[in-house]
Amino acid sequence: MKKSLKPLLWLLVLVMSISLVAVFSSVGCMGVDESVVEEVTDQPIEESEKVEEQSINILSPNGGEVWIEGNTYNITWDSSGIEKVNLSVACGGKAWDIAFGVGAKSGVYSWKIPDGLISGFGITKSDAMKVRVYDEKNSSIYGENDNYFTIIAVEETTTKGKIAFTSDRDRNYEIYIINVDGSGQINLTDNPANDFCPCFSH
């Protein structure tokens, strides 16, 4: 008598079904490893590259200096985020460029004051001088001296290598003398009245 294979087939199907249910149940019950989650969430977020602030600050001249036509002086500054600068000077509001494409990091430019810069206007001095150092690519980024400085002409009254001039740097005109090389400045007057027209007696 032949045995029926159907019971065996049903038994095999039943065993396989039970096995699959057990596998799916074990997977569904698996917990998430919290240490892995913490490790991922604790990773620092990279900050975007910081942009260096652009600035220029004039160091010299910064007010009160007396420079003389024909002599050479250093214009100095410090800066950040700037590659190259241009320089200009202004006398009573009129400005003109004196240098282009100077390396900003050098922080210095030696300027020979041209003869006639002041005397060419028929005056012997200007005590309202300004220097501007500005970004070659963006002129709105610049630095200027905080206070006026003075440029005087060699033709100003002189004797024995001395120059006499007046200045209102202290908001009151006083008389000064200085060596022709710009050294040895001396204030000769100090009173509430305005002092003008210095001259040497002969």
More confident residue, 188 or 100: 100
For residue 74 the two structure tokens come to 């250093």
- CB atoms closer than 10 angstroms to residue 83: 13
More confident residue, 7 or 87: 87
| Kind of pairing between the strands at 55-60 and 186-187 | unpaired
Predicted structure pTM score = 0.58
Residue with tokens 């490893």: 33
Q: In this predicted model, what pLDDT tens digit does every residue of 71-81 receive, in sequence order?
A: 999 999 999 99
Helix H, strand E, coil C: the string for 18-53 is: HHHHHHHHHHHCCCCCHHHHHHHHCCCCCCCCCCCC
Cα 121 versus chain centre, distance: 33
Instruction: Give all domains of the chain, ordered by start, each with its CATH number.
Output: 55-155 (2.60.40.10)
Instruction: Read off the pLDDT of each residue in 13-17 and give the average, rounded to a whole number.
Output: 65
- Out of 21-35, 87-101, 140-154, 169-183, pick the least confident: 21-35
Q: In this predicted model, what pLDDT tens digit does every residue of 57-71 receive, in sequence order?
A: 999 999 989 998 889
Q: In this predicted model, what pLDDT tens digit does every residue of 39-48 receive, in sequence order?
A: 545 555 555 5
